[in-house]
């Protein structure tokens, strides 16, 4: 019973603070002004109530705040997915050149996702997080899997561009993308450092 009463009071307070009540009250006050001016006559209660209702109807709807998301939680999940990708990559057979490219690519992802200040810079950039997430969860495993599937067919129906060449190009493009993400994050951090230096210099001149 006590819980029900508290919930009822909370709903009443929420309505009193709502835009509908505030707008309706403003219009109701205007109705009282008309009453005091003698414009409402004997029907002033209906005028006040009607203006209050009209104000409540035309008030903008209450804004529902979006749920908060912590990008650090996304990185935690992504680290787990990267660990599974690492295990998959270690288990598959690849040509030597593609293996070297993949190892460099996975090294870049590992450095970006390692807990610390680099991961904090990454978490602050949703586009960078999306690029790394898409590569880890989709692009890299699909490229490796497509190589193995295509190589099987190529043994039966030889000809055309080799699966090894396709895999090398795909991993090379992903490596360049990872390098761009890393360079962009480094530039963000460098600008932040420059801003802080300028702030300290300005503070020193004004002191």
Q: How far apart are CA 92 and CA 75, in angstroms?
A: 25
Residue 176 is encoded by which pair of tokens?
């360049």
Q: Over 70: is that where the pLDDT of 39 sits? A: no
Is the pLDDT higher at 167 or at 74?
A: 167
Phi, psi of 115 (to 5 degrees): -55, 135
Is the pLDDT higher at 202 or at 116?
A: 116
- Residue 200's pLDDT is 76
pLDDT per position as a tens digit, 3-21: 555 555 656 555 545 666 5
- Residue 78's pLDDT is 93
Query: Do 98 and 153 contact (CB within 8 A), yes or no?
Result: no
Q: Over 80: is that where the pLDDT of 148 sits? A: yes
Query: Do 65 and 78 contact (CB within 8 A), yes or no?
Result: no
Average pLDDT, the chain: 79
Is the pLDDT higher at 1 or at 202?
A: 202
Closest to 11 (Cα-Cα) out of 23, 3, 63 = 3
pTM of the predicted protein model? 0.63
- Residue 183's pLDDT is 93
Q: How far apart are CA 199 and CA 173, in angstroms?
A: 39
The whole-number average pLDDT for the span 171-196 is 89
The whole-number average pLDDT for the span 169-189 is 93
Q: Over 60: is that where the pLDDT of 170 sits? A: yes
The 10 Å CB-count burial string (b at 16+, else e) for 80-107 is eebeebeeebeeeebbeebeebbeebbe
Q: Over 70: is that where the pLDDT of 22 sits? A: no
């Amino acid at each position: 019973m006590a819980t029900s009463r508290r919930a009822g009071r909370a709903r009443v307070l929420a309505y009193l603070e709502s835009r509908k009540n505030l707008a309706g009250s403003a219009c109701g006050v205007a109705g009282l002004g008309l009453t005091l001016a003698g414009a409402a006559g004997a029907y002033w209660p209906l005028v006040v109530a009607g203006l209050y209702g009209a104000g409540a109807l035309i008030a903008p709807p209450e804004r529902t705040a979006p749920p908060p998301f912590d990008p650090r939680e996304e990185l935690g999940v992504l680290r787990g997915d990267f660990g599974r990708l690492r295990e998959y990559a270690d288990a598959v057979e690849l040509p030597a050149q593609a293996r070297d490219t993949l190892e460099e690519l996975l090294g870049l992802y590992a450095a970006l996702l390692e807990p610390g200040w680099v991961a904090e810079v990454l978490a602050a950039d949703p586009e960078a997080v999306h690029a790394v997430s898409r590569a880890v969860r989709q692009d890299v495993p699909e490229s490796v899997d497509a190589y193995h599937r295509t190589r099987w067919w190529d043994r039966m129906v030889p000809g055309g561009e080799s699966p090894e060449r396709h895999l090398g190009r795909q991993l090379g493009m992903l490596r360049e993308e990872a390098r761009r993400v890393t360079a962009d994050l480094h530039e963000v951090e460098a600008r932040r450092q420059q801003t802080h230096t300028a702030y300290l210099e300005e503070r020193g001149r004004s002191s």
